[in-house]
Amino acid sequence: MNNMPLVIEPEQLEQKLGHDGLLVVDLCKPETFAKGHIPGAVHLDYAQIVRLDRPRMGLLPDATSLSNIFSSIGLTPKTQVVAYDDEGGGRAARFLWTLDTVGHKTASLLDGGLFSWTNEGHSLEITAHHPAQSKYAVNITDAPLASRDYILSHLNDPGVVLWDSRSALEYSGKKKFAERGGHIPGALNIDWLDVMDRSRNMRLKTAMDLRTLLEGKGITRDKTVITYCQTHHRSALTYFVLKVLGYPNIKGYPGSWSDWGNSPDTPIEV
For residue 45, what are the contacts with CB-CB under 8 A and spacing of at least 6? 30
The amino acid sitting at 116 is S
The Cα 170–Cα 182 span in angstroms is 7
Per-residue pLDDT of the chain (270 residues; tens, 9 = 90+): 667 999 999 999 999 999 999 999 999 999 999 999 999 999 999 999 999 999 999 999 999 999 999 999 999 999 999 999 999 999 999 999 999 999 999 999 999 999 999 999 999 999 998 899 999 999 999 999 999 999 999 999 999 999 999 999 999 999 999 999 999 999 999 999 999 999 999 999 999 999 999 999 999 999 999 999 999 999 999 999 999 999 999 999 999 999 999 999 999 999
Do residues 176 and 140 touch, judged by C-beta distance below 8 A? no
Q: What is the pLDDT of residue 212?
A: 98
Do residues 244 and 180 touch, judged by C-beta distance below 8 A? no
Instruction: Evaluate whether 7-119 and 148-260 have a shared fold.
Output: yes
Q: What topology is assigned to 148-260 in CATH?
A: Oxidized Rhodanese; domain 1 (3.40.250)
**Burial class (CB within 10 angstroms; exposed 0-12, middle 13-18, buried 19+) of 130:** exposed
Directed axis angle between helix 207-217 and helix 234-244, to 10°? Answer: 110
For the domain spanning 7-119, the CATH number is 3.40.250.10
Residue 189 has phi, psi (to 5 degrees) of -105, 120
Do residues 167 and 175 touch, judged by C-beta distance below 8 A? yes
The Cα 59–Cα 160 span in angstroms is 22
Which residues belong to the active site? 229
For residue 169, what are the contacts with CB-CB under 8 A and spacing of at least 6? 175
Q: Where are the domains of the chain?
A: 7-119, 148-260
Reported residue count of the chain is 270
Q: What is the pLDDT of residue 2?
A: 66
Q: What is the pLDDT of residue 1?
A: 63
Count of CB atoms situated within 10 Å of the CB of 222: 9
Q: What is the pLDDT of residue 3?
A: 76
